[in-house]
Amino acid sequence: MKERITVVKIGGAFLENESELETISRKFASMQGKRILVHGGGKRASQISQALGIEPKLIGGRRITDRKTLEVVTMVYGGWANKNLVGRLQSLGCNAIGLSGADADLIRAVRRPVKEVDYGYVGDVESVNVASLQLLLRAGLTPVFCALTHNGKGQLLNTNADTVAAEIAKALGGEYRTSLYYCFDKKGVLRDLNDPNSVIAHLDQATFRDLEGKGIIAEGMMPKLHNSFGALEGGVEEVCIGPPELMTGNAGIFTKLSL
């Protein structure tokens, strides 16, 4: 029987202050078995951009990663968020190693083709280097990924952290029984954004399409859900969306997805 591995994605909001960082790190460090952490960058990237006088560029509500913004996210995701998480996990006995997709050539991406919108230095994942990842996992290390990838030609690329987590989980499906946990600041996918308790406990693809068609699911949840179903289709055994307590097995209510 294949060994289990859990890919946990945490939102950048959990890294905003020392106390949150400690809490989320404790939950992850306490997990048993092989696991991989993927983190977002949160508000800090916007704060730093603002302080540096970089105007946020949005087209159709979507952020554009120009050269200066890429520099900021490289600093904030790859440096500040990643190293603080690793340092904290190390203090909790978890032998973490911080990574971007460029490190050990772990995640290659292609710059998103320009159609209506030029998103700038944004990468769509092309491949996850399972052999390199296995070397680290077999050495007893716990990978901690920031959401930066590279194109193999010296260009770093900003990539959605939810997508990075899903792609890693899918790629490991051949070697492991994989679970994918999206941990965020809600209990799960909500029927009603104004009611934090309106969690959809089980969400299959047909229901999702129905709710999506009726406009019931919040816009902000869409990328996470598309990644989730994509992961299930790609062979990931289990995908859950919910609070950080997913990691410790005492989330109570959360959203479990199925095809």
Strands in 177-183's sheet, in edge-to-edge order, are 96-99, 142-146, 34-39, 4-10, 177-183, 238-242, 255-258, 202-204
Nearer to a copy of itself, 28 or 182 (CB): 28
* CA within 13 Å, CB half, 101: 33
Binding letters toward a copy of itself, positions 156-195, x by CB under 8 A: x---------------------------------------
Residue with tokens 């859990």: 6
Instruction: Round to whole Å and give the CA distance between 78 and 33.
Output: 25
Nearer to a copy of itself, 72 or 199 (CB): 72
Instruction: Round to whole Å and give the CA distance between 107 and 101.
Output: 4
Residues 6 or more apart whose CB falls under 8 angstroms from that of 252 comprise 187, 245
For 84, the 3-state DSSP assignment is: helix
- Give the strand pairing for 142-146 and 123-128: unpaired
Nearer to a copy of itself, 76 or 199 (CB): 76
**What is the size of the binding site for a copy of itself (CB under 8 A)?**
44
Contact residue for a copy of itself among 60, 113, 154, 249 (CB under 8 A):
154
Contact residue for a copy of itself among 6, 100, 158, 178 (CB under 8 A):
100
Tell me: does residue 84 bind a copy of itself (CB under 8 A).
yes
Contact residue for a copy of itself among 11, 40, 42, 98 (CB under 8 A):
98
Residues in contact with a copy of itself by CB under 8 A are 22, 48, 51-53, 71, 74-80, 82-84, 86-88, 90-92, 95-100, 102-105, 132, 135-136, 139, 141, 148, 150, 152-156
